[in-house]
Amino acid sequence: MASPLPTLFIPHGGGPCFFMEPAPGLPRDLWAPMERYLRAVAAEVGARPRAVVVISGHWEQPQPTVQSAARHTLLFDYYGFPEHTYRLTYPASGCPAVAARVRELLAAAGIASAEERERGLDHGVFIPFKLVYPQADVPIVQLSLQQGLDPADHLAIGRALAPLRAEEVLIVGSGMSYHNLQRFFVDNPAVNATASRFDEWLGAAVTASGPEREHRLAQWQQAPGARDCHPTPEHLLPLLVAAGAAGEDAGRIAYRSALLGKPISGYQFGASRAP
């Protein structure tokens, strides 16, 4: 039997950042390291999955809600960007069978869920996946966060979905390890130091053993600088779903680069799979 696929937490950048020039005054290569990382994700995962389940920081529902449509539209849920960024395409199919399996696994864990057929893939999905699988040839199933944004709930969602990994389904959390929009583009030494302290804590939590990792992540709001780096938690919680799905598999820092002095990280749980 093939080994399970890894699970991932990837940074998805800011709006359509990889498909436009940075704003005047910002470095022209601002997003280049993150773009290189995302373009390398497929090779790092190794085996091509039969589908991807993506949890984005841009969709919250009363219950975990899965997109069950066979074909997707795109939801351009960003504002004030160049006109051409609203004409981007990403024609990946859905996968109703995997969507049904997601709901089956959640139900088996005692987690009520719902399905959605009309909502398009939001930019936390189609923007990074235009780089990860640029041919749009891997089916995508998006899963929402659960309103209330409780860390324990999202770890439990991840644990419920863990069997998908042995079923050739890649589980990906898409968010940002730092997400304070008011300070994002301010290169301030004090802000950057706080971001570094939180990133160091987060890296240590991710690389801890399975039970200890979950314990630390469930208490993430008590970490140094946590609320400064995440005034609201929706961009961090996709990490907890990926970590919950990892079980006892080791976590590692798969990406780390500074963005105007603030470290931004991506993580992988479990070993890469040979193609």
pLDDT for the residue numbered 1 = 59
What's the whole-model pTM score? 0.97
- In which residue ranges of the chain is pLDDT below 70? 1
Tokens of 24: 């005047």
pLDDT for the residue numbered 19 = 98
pLDDT digits (tens, 9 = 90+) for 214-263: 999 999 999 999 999 999 999 999 999 999 999 999 999 999 999 999 99
For CA atoms 9, 175, 172, 103, give the dihedral sign: positive
- CA nearest 132: which of 252, 266, 270, 271? 266
Q: Is residue 144 within 8 Å of 65, Cβ to Cβ?
A: yes
pLDDT for the residue numbered 213 = 97
Q: Which domains does the chain have, with CATH numbers?
A: 28-269 (3.40.830.10)
